[in-house]
Structures are given as C-alpha cells and as structure tokens.
Amino acid sequence: MPTPISGFSKLTKEEKINWLATQYSFETKNTIAVLKSYWNNDTKLQQLHDEFIENTISNFYLPLGIAPNFLINQKLLAIPMAIEESSVVAAASRSAKFWLERGGFKSTIIGTEKVGQVHFIFKGNGEKLTNFFSEIKTKLLSSTKHLTQSMEKRGGGILDIVLRDKTDVLSDYYQLHCTFETKDAMGANFINSCLEQLAKTLKNEVKNYTGFTVGEQDIEVVMSILSNYVPNCVVKAEVSCPIKDLKVKADITPFEFANKIVRAVQIANVEPHRAVTHNKGIMNGIDAVVLATGNDFRAIEAGVHAYAAKDGHYRSLTNASIKNEEFRFSIELPLALGTVGGLTSIHPLAKLSLELLQKPSAEELMQIIAVAGLAQNFAALSALVTTGIQEGHMKMHLGNILNQLGATSEEKNILTKQFNNETVSHTAVADALKALKNN
C-alpha cells in the first residue's frame, strides 16, 4: 500500500520517478527506462519543457502531422496538426485537395470581442447601485490604465463595462460585464488582471460612496474572471461549387451526394445524439491546430460546444445547402486564439507551427482553424454518407495492431490483404499473425 507524500514537488525529476516506481510496483520492470527514453537529449531544451508545468516526469508525445494543399482566402498553406487519432490528418488533406480544385476556402471574421466578469453580491437598492455605477464608471476604467496601456498601443483594451442586474436568477447577484479587444493575444492574463483591478476599485469606491447605507457598502465580490463563452468572437469559413463538380465516387451521382450531405447536416441539426458526434469530428480538426500552435484546446472546446447549444438545443456547427445548382457548405464558430504570448513563442514546435502558417495574426489563425474544422466535417460526412467510416478506420487500426505485434513488412502486406474482408480485432490479428509465422 502506497503512503502519502509531502513535498513531492520539491523532489528532483529523478527522485519523483524513483518514488513512483517504489510506491507503485509497476508491472513493466523498465518503467524508469521508458520514462527516460522520452526525455530529450538536449538538457536545456528538456528543462524548458519540464518547467511549463509542475511535477513533470517526461514528455507525452502527440504526433505532429501536416495537411498540405489548403487554399484559404487565396493563400496556399500546409497546416500543422498535433493529434493522436488516426485518419484526421488524412481526412483534412483529402478535403484540402478536393476544394483546392474547386476554388478553395473562404473565411471571414464576424467578431473578435472577448468577455470577462466581476461577479458580486449587493444587498441593497438596485437603483442606487445603477446611479453609483454611472458615477464611477470612468474611475473604474482609469484604475486599469497601468494594465491597459501596452494593449491600447496595439489597438486593444477594454471596450466597455456594463452593470448587469442578475437578481432575477439569484438574489442580490450583480455583474460588471466587461468586453475586451485583445488583438493577437488570447488575452486571458490581460483580462484577468484588468478584472481583479476593477473588483478592487469597485470595493473601494463602494466603501467611499456616501449614497449607500452601511449595509449596502458591504458588497461581496465573489470572483473576477474571464469567460470562455465568446459568442461575439466568431469566424465563418465556407466552400461552394456547382453540384455537377461533386463527383466523389463511381457509385453515387453528384446530385445524390450533395443531397446526402445536406440531409446529414439536417439530421445533426435536429438530433443531439448525432450533433454531438458531428461537432466532435469538427473539433478533431480544430483542436489539432489549436494544440500545434500553442493554444488552449479546453478553452476552445468549452466555448464552441456552449455556442452549439446557445438556442437551448444542441446543434450542428456546420451548414449545408443547395441553391440554383450550387452546393454551399459553411461553418460558424467562436474561437478565442492567440498568436503572441502564452506558449505560442515559448514552445519551439508551437513557434515553428506558426512560422509554417506564415506568422498569422490572431484573426488569420481563426480563419485557418475554422477551415480545418470545416474540412474535417466535409471529409467525415463524405465517408459517412458513402462507404461508412469503418473501412478507413479499420485499415489504420490493423496497421497499429500489426506494429504493436512487431510484424515484418512482408507479414503486414499479407495480413492487410487477408483482413480486407474480415473484422479487425486485436485477438483476430494476433491469431492470424501467429498462424502465418507457423506456416
């Protein structure tokens, strides 16, 4: 039975690993060797990665793949994707090529507004609070000057502060609802610093406001924090072509194919069980680029799925339509991204990914990532409404199992053919390989 530990974070990396191996008797005896085999030889580079977070013991590898041939707003890009799931990069590449030959992707920014809130409890007269707020609004703003100066130089800053009365949903609950423009920064640190300052100023001003009773002066700031729900930081991406150009397979006409895609999107709009998976596939493409460029995929995921549910019913992020012989396919989603700050320049591969993307502004990165999501959905739907997705998945799955079992190239060739019409499972493949070796 392991025992609790104090001061784990103060151990060296080696000591941490040794402690783990002693406490948790690993089945694999070479645990320590496995962990170390993932360390980088360059100790300085390794130290950089170790210090990104706390208690680091090794580097978890995600494959970094490339999807070339993306024509986005007339610019030809190769998109870096960090993802462990097979077929995602292949699907993106296939879509990119397909639409390259049909005019490419168009993407436009709809908004870039970020949000943050100071949540507080005020037990008193709401009208007095409103008057108080109008009187101190300028003071609130000016109290953040030392924080906003450099952002303002770059064209950003606090856009507005609004007092919101939320007492209809929770008694005595009010907000300072603040909107921000953070330009090429994702802005979390900037926004949170501003909000914490605003909360401080608010508390001070309330205390000094003679219009309040002593009870009213006793407001309680519950918390001050940015929101990952950014329904006004939105980008759109789209493709279109004459229906007749949608010849994808021998056994389906362009018109049938277009109709099936439209139908599949309609289904994702009315059936949440399908919508969630439909959007999950989109996020395969989105997150892979978010990760590769040093952005925070949890923030993106939360914002996107809440956006998909914004009208009270969880829906598809993409739209498909047929009009005047033309097929149109588009996506609209919120993406709060940064191309400066955070890990974007500190993680060498995030920096390299941004260079590969030609050092995009945050707005350009929003456009690129929205396109990656749209491309992913097009590939997924194309497979789903024609051959189904298992054909491709099973091929990759078989390859992974054969690698794991240490099959030779020759054995791989033979078994790939053999499993063309058989169900791939670990046991079935292991048995077949054994049989092959015994022959």
Considering only residues 231 to 270 of the shown chain, the ones binding a copy of itself according to CB under 8 A are 260, 263-264, 266-267, 270
Beta bridge partners of residue 235, listed in sequence order: 109, 333
- Counted residue by residue, the chain has a size of 439
At 160 the three-state DSSP class reads strand
Question: What gap in Å lies between CA 432 and CA 229, rounded to an integer?
Answer: 51
Binding mask 289-308 for a copy of itself (x = CB under 8 A): --xx-x-xxxx-xxx-xx-x
List 184, 238, 287, 296, catalytic entry: 296
Window 408-427: contact mask with a copy of itself (x via CB under 8 A): ---------------xxxxx
Residue from 100, 109, 322, 414 binding a copy of itself (CB under 8 A):
100
Catalytic pick among 14, 15, 85, 160? 85
Q: How far is the CB of 125 from a copy of itself (least distance, A)?
A: 21
Spatial strand order in the sheet of 114-121:
157-165, 173-181, 114-121, 220-227
Q: Which residue number, 69 or 201, has a Cβ lying nearer to a copy of itself?
A: 69
Instruction: Tell me if residue 13 is catalytic.
Output: no
In angstroms, what is the minimal distance from the CB of 23 to a copy of itself?
7
Find the binder of a copy of itself among 208, 404, 408, 413 (CB under 8 A): 404
For residue 315 the two structure tokens come to 């829906």
- Give the range of 53-61, 106-114, 241-249, 320-328 binding a copy of itself by CB under 8 A: 53-61
* CB-based contact 121:165 (threshold 8 Å): no
Verify whether residue 287 is a known catalytic residue.
no
Binding to a copy of itself, residues 323-382 (CB under 8 A)? 341, 343, 345-349, 351-352, 355-356, 358-359, 381
Question: Quick one: which of 10, 27, 214, 421 contacts a copy of itself (CB under 8 A)?
Answer: 27
Q: According to the binding rule CB under 8 A, does residue 45 interact with a copy of itself? A: yes
Q: Which of 29, 280, 310, 313 is catalytic?
A: 280
Pick between residue 9 and residue 439 the one whose CB is nearest to a copy of itself. Answer: 9
Query: For the packed helices 254-270 and 362-384, what is the interaxial angle rounded to 10 degrees?
Result: 110
Instruction: Tell me the C-alpha distance between 357 and 50, whole Å.
Output: 26
Tokens of 218: 């006793």
Which parts of 108-137 interact with a copy of itself (CB under 8 A)? 115, 117, 119, 121
* Least distance from a copy of itself to the Cβ atom of residue 24, Å: 6
- Amino acid type, 230: V
What Å distances lie between residue 389 and 87, 140, 315, 334, CA to CA?
Answer: 10, 55, 22, 28
Q: How far apart are CA 196 and CA 202, in angstroms?
A: 10
- Residue 210 sits at φ, ψ, to 5 deg, of -75, -20
Of 131 and 162, CB closest to a copy of itself:
162
Which CB atom, from 170 or from 435, has the smaller least distance to a copy of itself? 170
Helix (H) or strand (E) run with residue 187 in it = none
Q: Tell me which residues in 59-78 interact with a copy of itself (CB under 8 A).
A: 59-69, 71, 76-78
Listed residue (329, 331, 318, 321) closest to 259, CA to CA: 321
Q: How far is 40 from 36, CA to CA, in rounded Å?
A: 9
**What residues are annotated to the active site?**
85, 280, 296, 393
